[in-house]
Structure 1
Amino acid sequence: MQERQTVRRFASIGIVALALGARAQAAEAQSPVTRVHGIATGLAACWRPAHDDDQVTVRLSFTREGAVIGEPRIVFARSSGGRADDSALAASMMAAIRDCTPLPFSARLGAAIAGQVLDIHFIGRSRATIVAPP
């Protein structure tokens, strides 16, 4: 009985390790982000809002390699689930940024965007817009 549990644990660990390895390979295989709008769509693909019309605006900057500089700041969050869900919505955006960066910037985009402050407005996962810098 104890041997079966040990085998199951090792099998579970192996499955998790394979899944994490596949995720890392998928991130490496991403085509480079060549346009500013690709930043918004890349982050939107990772975000999991609770409702289709949830809205978040985040202020952040990137290095030329696509990593976030400093701590992103949520400047607006509105959940269609009500004010009680706003903080969870903001937390879900911060998790998406943490999990999906660095983004694979092309050398040209990285050189152009490095250090620039961007405001990105997300409406659900389907719409994301770069707002003029603050």
Structure 2
Amino acid sequence: MKNMAGMLLIAGAVVMVATSPSAAAQLNTMDEVGTAIQACWTPPADAGNSIVTLSFSFKRDGTLLGPPRPTAAKVAGDDKARKSFIDAATAAVKNCTPLNLSPQLAQGIAGNVFTLQFVSPKQ
């Protein structure tokens, strides 16, 4: 019984590390930052052919400097669909941070505006 409890504890720790954005590989370029955030993106099922561009900034520690803001959006459907699509993209950025930035990237990233386009269907 002790052995089973120990195995469950280890399995839980592995799952926590595997799903934690901060435990991810160190990011060295802005392309890697974009790829990491895109990996967190799941567009709504009924999004059709939609696009939203979000604008956001990071602190040196990889956390967001304020909330992501939509700067452009072309969303299929009504206002509810538009809100759902933009909310999903915003959630992807928020849920994927803090990022594990290399010291070199962290030095130059703070306060700079980063834009990222989210496209459905996911490409």
Range of TM-score over shorter length: 0.7 to 0.9
Structure 1 residues 78-117: aligned runs within 5 Å: 78-80=74-76, 82-84=77-79, 85-117=81-113
| 1:71 equivalent in structure 2 | 67
Q: How many residues align?
A: 107
| 1:47 equivalent in structure 2 | 41
Higher relative contact order (CA 8 A, sep 6+): 2
Deviation at 1:22, TM superposition (A): 4.4
CA contact (8 A) 1:58 1:120 kept: yes
| 2:16 equivalent in structure 1 | 24
Give, as a single letter, the amino acid of the residue that structure 2 aligns with 1:62: F
RMSD (Å) for aligned C-alpha atoms: 2.1
Give, as a single letter, the amino acid of the residue that structure 1 aligns with 2:78: R
Instruction: List alignment gaps of at least 5 residues for structure 2.
Output: 1-7
Taking the aligned partners of 1:87 and 1:78, their CA distance within structure 2 comes to 11
- Cα 1:53–1:32 change in 2 (3 A) is farther
Instruction: List alignment gaps of at least 5 residues for structure 1.
Output: 1-13, 127-134
Task: Considering fraction of residues, name the structure with more strand.
Answer: 1
Taking the aligned partners of 1:54 and 1:68, their CA distance within structure 2 comes to 25
- Cα 1:52–1:37 change in 2 (3 A) is farther
State the identity as a percent: 29
Taking the aligned partners of 2:33 and 2:48, their CA distance within structure 1 comes to 20
SS of residue in 2 equivalent to 1:60: strand
Taking the aligned partners of 1:23 and 1:115, their CA distance within structure 2 comes to 32
Give, as a single letter, the amino acid of the residue that structure 1 aligns with 2:69: R
For normalisation by structure 2, the TM-score amounts to 0.75
- Cα 1:102–1:29 change in 2 (3 A) is closer
CA radius of gyration, larger in: 1
